[in-house]
Amino acid sequence: MPKEVLKKAEELKLTGDHEQAIKYLEDILINDLNVSKAYEEIADNFLSLKEFDKAILALEQAIKLDPISANAHYLLGFALSVKGDFDTSIQELELADKIEPNHPEILRCLGWSYFNAHDRTTGIIVLERARFMSPNDALILSDLGVCYLNSKNFEKAEEIFNHILELEPNNQQAFDCLKACQFHKIKSDLDSRK
């Protein structure tokens, strides 16, 4: 039964009906509190609903049941990153990377957390690794581009945002970031001439 319910919950999640998906997953837990995958999926739905504290609680329970779940550590690291707890996020994401090495999405989040934890060089290196493994992933490219933009490496940032727009011509965030790169490049050139 849990496999069928997990499948139905996944379908609901993919259609954006996160609250109904959570109800299906809670039904699994009513019968068996030890289904770590149900906690992971509940957390994933809470993340989509931007209910990060609830997601964190579910993920902590999932990890108690299955300490070597790369997905649970990854999701927990992501949730902590969104909440600004970058140091703890890094710990969780490094565990996820140790369990499932070189997964581009884990590396993307790990690089972002390093960059925001004031280790910009490591953050960019890890994001570049993720980009190498998944060169057309707009999320990886976006995070890397923002890191280059914040590091004032406008040429690299501009190159990345142009690549995103080749992949996704209607990506408004990439378009806005590209304009920011161009503005800062011009401003930097003007400032250097003074």
| Confidence category of residue 81, pLDDT binned at 50, 70, 90 | very high
Contact in structure between 146 and 112 (CB atoms under 8 Å): no
pLDDT given for residue 62 in this prediction: 97
Lowest mean pLDDT among 10-19, 101-110, 163-172: 10-19
pLDDT given for residue 4 in this prediction: 82
How far is 74 from 25, CA to CA, in rounded Å?
A: 20
pLDDT tens across 85-119, in order? 999 999 999 999 999 999 999 999 999 999 999 99
Is the per-residue pLDDT at 18 higher than 80?
yes
Work out the angle at residue 58's Cα, subtended by the Cα atoms of residues 92 and 65, and round it to the nearest 5 degrees. Answer: 75
pLDDT tens across 139-156, in order? 999 999 999 999 999 999
**pTM of the model as a whole:** 0.90
